[in-house]
Amino acid sequence: MRLFLDTANIDEIRHAARMGILAGVTTNPTLMAKESGISYRERVVEICEAAKGPVSAECVSRELDALLAEARDVARWHTNVVVKIPIDEVGLEATSILSAEGIPINMTLIFSANQALLAATAGAAYVSPFVGRIDDAGQDGMEVVRESVEIFDRYHLPAQVLAASLRHPRHVIAAARAGAPIATIPYAVLTLMLKHPLTDAGIERFAADARRYENEPAREQAPS
C-alpha cells in the first residue's frame, strides 16, 4: 500500500519525504486556500519537486470546454501532475477525452461503488472514495472502498482505488485490509500513525540505561 499526503503545505510534504514514506500527494482548492503568498501553479510544481510521485491538482471548471482547457493546462505544469476532476456527467465526459490523450485523471468526490465503476470505465487512473464523509452521512465509507477494490480486481480494471477522507490511523489500517492500493492522509494522521506511548517509553528507558552504563566506572579486567 502506498501512502499519499493530503495537503498543500510544503513543509509537511518535505518532512514526510525525508522520512522515506511519501509516495505522492493529493491537493484540492480547500487545502490550497490555506496557503498564502504563492500561486496555485507554483505550489503544485513545488510539491511535485518535493514529493517525487503523483501529485493530484484539482480542476474547478464545470463546463466541458472550459474543463478540458483547464485540465490540459494543469497537466502541463509538471510530469508528475495528475488532474483531479469531480465526478458528474461533465466530469466523466472530460475524463474519457483526457485519458485517451494520455492525461492521468484522479476522479474525486466518489461516494458509492457505482460512481467508482463509472469513473474507472471512463478511463480514470485513480478513483477517490471519501471514506470519512460517507461515514458522516451514516453509511459505511470503508465498504465503498472494499466494493470498489473487488470490482476493479474482478474485471481487471486498471483504475486504482485511492482511499481518501481518512480521519484517523484505524482508517488507514482498514483501507489497507480492504485492499486499497493507495491511502491519502492528512499530516496529523501521519503523525498519529508514527507515535505510540510504549515506543516513547522504550526510547527513554534505553537512553537512561545507556547513560547509566556510560557513567559507571570502568571495571578492571580479571587477570587471565
pTM here is: 0.90
* Strand 24-26 with 160-163, pairing: unpaired
Catalytic residue ranges:
84
- Domain ranges in the chain? 2-215
Indicate the pLDDT class of residue 101, thresholds 50, 70 and 90: very high
**Angle of CA points 6, 196, 140, to nearest 5°:** 50
Nearest Cα neighbor of 184 from 14, 15, 16 is 16
> In this structure, are residues 41 and 69 in contact, taking their beta carbons and an 8 Å threshold?
no
Given a contact cutoff of 8 angstroms between Cβ atoms, the answer to whether 144 and 151 are in contact is no
pLDDT band at 214; cut points 50, 70, 90: confident
Is the model's pLDDT at 222 over the cut of 70? no
Query: Which CATH code fits 2-215?
Result: 3.20.20.70
2 DSSP β-pair partners:
182
Whole-number Å distance between alpha carbons of 5 and 110: 18
Model confidence pLDDT, tens digit, residues 143-183: 999 999 999 999 999 999 999 999 999 999 999 999 999 99
In this prediction, residue 213 carries a pLDDT of 78
Q: pLDDT (tens digit, 9 = 90+) per residue, 64-97?
A: 999 999 999 999 999 999 999 999 999 999 999 9
Show the DSSP H helices in 19-84 as ranges.
29-33, 40-51, 64-75
